[in-house]
Amino acid sequence: MKQININTSFTVFSSAAELPQEVQALMQQAVEIRKKAYAPYSKFRVGAALLLDNGKIVLGSNQENAAYPSGLCAERVAIFQSGAIYPDAKIVKLAVSAASDTNETKSPIPPCGACRQSISEYEFKQDTPIEIYFMGETGEVYKSDSIKNLLPLSFDKNFL
């Protein structure tokens, strides 16, 4: 028997105001699109903004459905839209902001497992890391240099 230790690291910004200017603008777009989320059931709104290597920004917000789990998370809405509209572009940065209609979210809220897998697929496909920034409604912002920090033992096409 042996033991494997997996270490991850994140850069922590005290607030969105501390982010580099380009990332502040991207996060602000995530915040704005978050407000347009369709979340009548969970009352939990998420916005995502992607910066592509062609300079385009693609937005997504979570879209719920009464027939759970038919809805889709903000990150996957943005990622799949970028794949459909700009299939050859690489995702450079992803900014995510989440907020609850019922209580203030002060802690950074990372992508869910399904979104992590989707981000991993695109990072693998493009063979370059995607910077991921995530926050709640207020407070700290976490930065991951790659999805590998959030999903260190990822499943990809090499297993198929």
- Taking residue 78's Cβ as centre, other Cβ atoms within 10 Å add up to 27
114 labelled ligand-binding: no
62 labelled ligand-binding: yes
Closest-CA residue to 89 (of 33, 128, 62): 128
Residue 63 exposure: Cα atoms within 13 Å on the Cβ side = 9
Sign of CA dihedral 15, 138, 32, 69: positive
67 labelled ligand-binding: yes
Q: Is 131 a catalytic residue?
A: no
5 labelled ligand-binding: no
74 labelled ligand-binding: no
66 labelled ligand-binding: yes
Task: At 116, give phi and psi (nearest 5°).
Answer: -60, -40
- Residue of 18, 22, 75, 131 marked active site: 75
End-to-end CA distance of the chain: give it in Å, rounded.
27
- DSSP 3-state assignment of 68? coil
Alpha helices in the chain (DSSP H): 21-34, 74-85, 113-126
131 labelled ligand-binding: no
Residues of the binding site for substrate: 62-68
Residues of the binding site: 62-68, 73, 112, 115
Residues of the binding site for Zn(2+): 73, 112, 115
Annotated catalytic sites, by residue?
Answer: 75
